[in-house]
Amino acid sequence: MKNSFRNLSFQELKVKRDELSRKYMELRFQMVIGHVDNPLQKRTMRRQLARLNTLVRQHELNEAGKFNSNAARKPSGGARKAAEKKA
């Protein structure tokens, strides 16, 4: 499921994101009411939505010419500070 979004076009990603966000909202309402069979489904949907948002943003930055794939892999936080101390 993780890699299934990578080969979609930009428009397909946006449609899928809108569809998934609607399903996520419906699931949240169902959880409040108490009619959910699998409560872990909320977590997986939230993560899928985050993956879609990331891919949509990458497409937007690619079209603007501002996306650097190496910058996306740069360590952040404590890992970056540890790397700076070693250098």
**pLDDT at position 25, please?**
95
pLDDT digits (tens, 9 = 90+) for 75-84: 666 666 666 6
Q: Which residue has the higher pLDDT, 16 or 87?
A: 16
Residue 86: is its pLDDT beyond 90?
A: no
**pLDDT at position 47, please?**
95
pLDDT digits (tens, 9 = 90+) for 31-61: 898 888 888 999 999 999 999 999 999 999 9
DSSP letters along 8-74, please?
S-HHHHHHHHHHHHHHHHHHHHHHHHT--S-TTHHHHHHHHHHHHHHHHHHHHHHHHT---HHHHTS
**pLDDT at position 69, please?**
63
**Residue 22, burial from CB neighbour count under 10 angstroms (0-12, 13-18, 19+):** exposed
Query: How many domains are there within the chain?
Result: 1
State which residues form the domain around 10. 3-86
